[in-house]
Structure formats: structure tokens, C-alpha cells
Structure 1
């Protein structure tokens, strides 16, 4: 069975996502943080919030973790994403900078 231990700060981030806590979700990113959602890049709090309002937190998204891989400051989580916007197995790769997330990249799982 794959390891499902998600290290901080990604674990707290995913907990916030699954609880639909927008402020905690947004605060998890560095000042210049970015989301790359299948090649569409949203940088900074305002752009990430706009994207999330429609496709992530605002779409009542939840992620059930199935696999976790840690390589240095990069954490990859594969799991079942469910929301009112999109559903299916997805791969979330997080670039961690200290106790925050510099970049989250979403691809097919």
C-alpha cells in the first residue's frame, strides 16, 4: 500500500481545502505563490482566490489522498478529487518553501 503520510505544510493545507476554509487555504501560499491548474497559471492571492472561487473551494472540492511522494521540498499527492466543478483522480504537486506553499500544480492522476 502506498504511503499516505502527508507532511506539513501540505497536510494542513489539504485539511483546510476539505473543510472549505478559504482564508486558511489562501494563507497557505507564499506572497508570490501560484497555482498551475492543467497549464493555466494563477499567481498571487487575488488570482488564486478568483480561480478557487469557481473551481476549488467555491466548488466544494474535497480530496481523498491515495498516494504521497516526497522529494526534497516537493510533495506530490495523488487522490480522488470531488467537486461541483470537476471530478476524478488528480495529481497535486506542491513546491514547499518553509512553512508555506510556493506553487501547487494540478495534473491528471
Structure 2
């Protein structure tokens, strides 16, 4: 990844790489949320449950990750692998006060 990735987003990517659900959830603001193709999971408990069932709990991997839209919000394009969804995807992160305010997943 050649373009700058904010520390909060890097923490999420590292947590996914290390399969660390606690670190993943901790990267979000207390009122942060995940938007998974229109399904919204707000707050740490719902984000944790979503990740356990859809992301880290499915041993998700990201490869070929690149910044496709820099700034805030920032969008990365990546190839998702693991025991759940597999295929290309975009993740858009809105960062507020060095925490993730939202992470939206699209094609």
C-alpha cells in the first residue's frame, strides 16, 4: 500500500491480519458502526458479534489491499478470503478522533 493509511484504519487492518477481534472492536469509536452491504451494526457489542460471525470469526484475509480513494473517508480495495465471503470488496472508513466512526463494505 503506497498511499497513507490513517492509524485507526491501520489498526483495523492489523487486527484482521492477526485475527484479533478485541483489537478490531477497540479501533471503533463507542458509537461507531459497520455497514455490511446495508446491514448496520452499531456499538461495540454488535460490531463484535458481526465480526465473530462475518469477519474474524470466518478467518477473513485481505490481500492486494490498496487505497482506492484517499482522504477521509478513505476507501481501500482488497481481495477478501477465508471461510466466509470470498472476492473483491471495497471498505470505506470514516475516521473521527483517531477511531473508526464507520466502516462500510461494498463491491
Same fold (TM over 0.5): yes
How many equivalent residue pairs? 106
Counterpart in the other structure of 2:99 = 100
5+ residue gaps in structure 1? none
Contact preservation (8 Å) 1:4, 1:65 = no
> Are 1:91 and 2:96 counterparts?
no
- Residue 8 of structure 1: CA displacement? 1.6
5+ residue gaps in structure 2? none
Distance in 2 (alpha carbons) for counterparts of 1:45 and 1:87:
25
From the two aligned structures, give the one with the greater helix fraction.
2
Matched position secondary structure for 1:30: strand
TM-score of the aligned structures, taking structure 2 as reference length:
0.91
| Two-structure CA RMSD over aligned residues (Å) | 1.5
